[in-house]
Amino acid sequence: MASATQLRSWIARSQRVKTSLGYVCALACAWFTVELSMRVYALRGTPLALSFAVAAIITTEFGLGPGFASVGATAGILYVRFLLPGSSSPYAPGALIRLAVAVFAGTVIVLFCERQRVTGLKLRGALSTLRESTAMLAQAQRASNSAAWSFMHGDSKVRWATGAVEIFGLPPAESWTIEELLALVEPEDRRPLIHEVVTAHRFSLPFRAEFRIRIPSGDLRWLEAQGTLAPGTTQWSGLVLDISSRKKVEDALLRAEKLAAIGRLSATVAHEINNPLEALTNLHFLMASEDNLSSELRAYLEAADGELRRLESIARHTLSFARTRTDAGPIDAVPVTINAVAMFQSRCASRGGVIRLVSPDHAMVQVPTDELRQILTNLLSNACDALQGQEGTVEVSLQREGDNVTITVRDTGSGIAPDHLDRIFEPFFTTKQETGTGIGLWVTRELVQKVGGTIRATSSLPAAAPEASPFRTTFVVTLPSGEPPRPSGPPSGS
């Protein structure tokens, strides 16, 4: 507070000093210009020209008071030095009239210069305010990831304010052509965007459009463009906002809604399945109780019993999917994996491929048997489908690594595109348009994470796959081991 008061006091003192200096300059310059006009022959014909020019300068620099002082001093000195010596009386009408005309002319010049000075001060103040507003607007645009634009119909360039370089990733420029900007828009969004803008221009209506662009660095961004037509002109102006963050939030909300829908649907389906499942189980029990069954038919009934138990387990698991699970006892993952591989051998062979299993004698994991079987089933199903009827190999390997067991499933199939790889664990996302549901890998990840494990995927397309390895896609599942921790060193003696 004290510093602000001191600053205002210093400014006031500076202004008083400047005004005082102006009065001194006015008096000194008035005497000097009159004397110079009297002594220089070329200036005698226009004795007031130089004086009034100096008065104008003093008014512009020091203000109205020093300007009037300059005119008054000039008139007084001029009257004494020029007009009075040629008159018979100090109050001669001719001398007084000439003096009045000189004072009037000087006053007009001073008032005009004062008006120009005040106008200049206002313009400088307005310009300073405009610069501050422009700086604040630019800062606000950077903070909101937006950029202002303008476009004149008939011109091929769109002019931009601050922020456009960051949004579009193009080299810095005041304007870019429409072709340069449209080249960044994703092909499937380009036509709807053009249609929206053309319709708005045809009917002179505001427009708003959301679209995606692929910037030169390769990143994908969501943008929202807004524009209005200035009344009575062909000048369009508006804003472009980077809404990528908002789209991510919307996608997350949509995924959450899908998960909630999955939960409700799963509970309903599982409940509806239990009733006919119970009837099938009873019918199976009655048929298996017959004594005169052939060995072949009894083998079929045993296989059906296994599948009924599996279906019952899936329904029970679906109902308790979101519930907290109590820790299950350790199981050996090797026989479960062998059974899963055997179940998919014929399916893989029908697609021209083979399944190869590499595993130790045993590998204990802290996972319920049914959940491990479901994990393997989903991964093997995708691996076999990836062969797409071509000769290939699916390899399943188990390996003990410290306190974990790693299950690796890889195939020599078609691979997964890079832009799809980040989304394969999302619910309802599938690359198998006709047969896929988009739930298998999501369920697999949920089961793995539920027991404290991890799952990751790597893939490459055939053109980018290294020649040293024929495998395109690899899923690595890490599960907690059910074996007791191994001692780190020999026991110490007593």
| Per-residue pLDDT tens digits for 237-280 | 888 988 888 888 787 777 766 766 777 777 777 777 877 887 88
At residue 331, does pLDDT exceed 50?
yes
Closest CA to 349 of 292, 301, 306, 391: 391
Residues above pLDDT 90, as percent of the chain? 16
Residue predicted with more confidence, 258 or 406: 406
CA dihedral 41, 44, 46, 48 (to 10 degrees): 120
Q: Specify the pLDDT at position 193.
A: 92
Flag whether 204 is in a domain: yes
Mean pLDDT over 23-27 rounds to 82
Matching residue, tokens 């979101």: 322
Do 225 and 285 lie in a common domain?
A: no
Q: Specify the pLDDT at position 486.
A: 54
Residue 469: enclosing H or E segment and its boundaries?
A: none
**Strand 175-177 relative to strand 207-214, pairing:** unpaired
Do 24 and 134 lie in a common domain?
A: yes
Do 154 and 121 lie in a common domain?
A: no
Q: Specify the pLDDT at position 93.
A: 67
pLDDT digits (tens, 9 = 90+) for 122-155: 888 888 777 777 666 666 666 667 888 888 877 7
Separation CA 208–CA 21 (nearest Å)? 61
Residue 57 pLDDT level (bands cut at 50, 70, 90): confident
Mean pLDDT over 287-309 rounds to 83
Which of 86, 119, 138 is the last residue in one of the domains? 138
Closest CA to 46 of 55, 57, 58, 34: 34
Q: Please give the tally of structural domains in the chain.
A: 4
User: Taking the CB of residue 281, how many other CB atoms lie within 10 A of it?
Assistant: 15
Note whether 52 and 105 are within 8 A (CB): yes
Flag whether 175 is in a domain: yes
Flag whether 488 is in a domain: no
Residue 492 pLDDT level (bands cut at 50, 70, 90): very low
Note whether 212 and 220 are within 8 A (CB): yes
Is this structure's pTM higher than 0.85?
A: no
Residue 434 pLDDT level (bands cut at 50, 70, 90): low
CA 494 to chain CA centroid, nearest Å: 65
Do 339 and 372 lie in a common domain?
A: yes
Which of 138, 166, 194 is the last residue in one of the domains? 138
Flag whether 17 is in a domain: yes
Choose from 20-29, 158-167, 284-293, 336-345 the range with maximum mean pLDDT: 336-345
Lowest mean pLDDT among 65-74, 216-225, 368-377: 65-74
- Tell me the helices (H) and strands (E) count for the chain, helix number first: 13, 13
Q: What is the CATH number of the domain that holds 297?
A: 1.10.287
Q: Specify the pLDDT at position 63.
A: 81
**Domain extent for 63:** 2-138
Coil, strand, or helix at residue 430?
A: coil
Q: Specify the pLDDT at position 488.
A: 47
Do 300 and 438 lie in a common domain?
A: no
Note whether 247 and 222 are within 8 A (CB): yes
Do 357 and 454 lie in a common domain?
A: yes
Tokens of 255: 């995924």
**What is the longest distance spanned by two Cα atoms in the chain?**
161
Lowest mean pLDDT among 48-52, 221-225, 365-369, 473-477: 48-52
Matching residue, tokens 């001398």: 95
Residue predicted with more confidence, 233 or 252: 233
Tokens of 325: 């699970």
CA dihedral 485, 488, 490, 491 (to 10 degrees): -60
Do 372 and 419 lie in a common domain?
A: yes
Flag whether 485 is in a domain: no
Q: Specify the pLDDT at position 144.
A: 64
At residue 319, does pLDDT exceed 70?
no
Q: Specify the pLDDT at position 493.
A: 42
Closest CA to 425 of 219, 268, 255, 245: 255
Do 221 and 113 lie in a common domain?
A: no
Q: Specify the pLDDT at position 89.
A: 54
Flag whether 171 is in a domain: yes
Do 347 and 429 lie in a common domain?
A: yes
Note whether 196 and 209 are within 8 A (CB): yes
Q: Specify the pLDDT at position 328.
A: 59
Coil, strand, or helix at residue 463?
A: coil
Do 292 and 352 lie in a common domain?
A: no
Mean pLDDT over 56-84 rounds to 78
- Positive or negative, the CA dihedral 335, 340, 342, 343 is positive
Coil, strand, or helix at residue 387?
A: coil
Do 83 and 209 lie in a common domain?
A: no
Q: What is the CATH number of the domain that holds 204?
A: 3.30.450.310
Q: What is the CATH number of the domain that holds 462?
A: 3.30.565.10
The overall average pLDDT reported for the chain is 79
Residue predicted with more confidence, 486 or 331: 331
Residue 27 pLDDT level (bands cut at 50, 70, 90): confident
Q: Specify the pLDDT at position 453.
A: 93
Separation CA 411–CA 458 (nearest Å)? 11
Residue 435 pLDDT level (bands cut at 50, 70, 90): low
Flag whether 310 is in a domain: yes
Residue 223 pLDDT level (bands cut at 50, 70, 90): very high
Q: Specify the pLDDT at position 68.
A: 81
Which of 76, 104, 138 is the last residue in one of the domains? 138
Residue 478 pLDDT level (bands cut at 50, 70, 90): very high
At residue 458, does pLDDT exceed 70?
yes
pLDDT digits (tens, 9 = 90+) for 29-50: 878 877 777 777 666 666 677 7
Flag whether 445 is in a domain: yes
Tokens of 332: 């050996």
Q: Specify the pLDDT at position 82.
A: 66
Coil, strand, or helix at residue 416?
A: coil
Residue 108 pLDDT level (bands cut at 50, 70, 90): confident
**For 291-375, where are the E strands, in sequence order?**
331-332, 353-358, 364-365
Do 298 and 422 lie in a common domain?
A: no
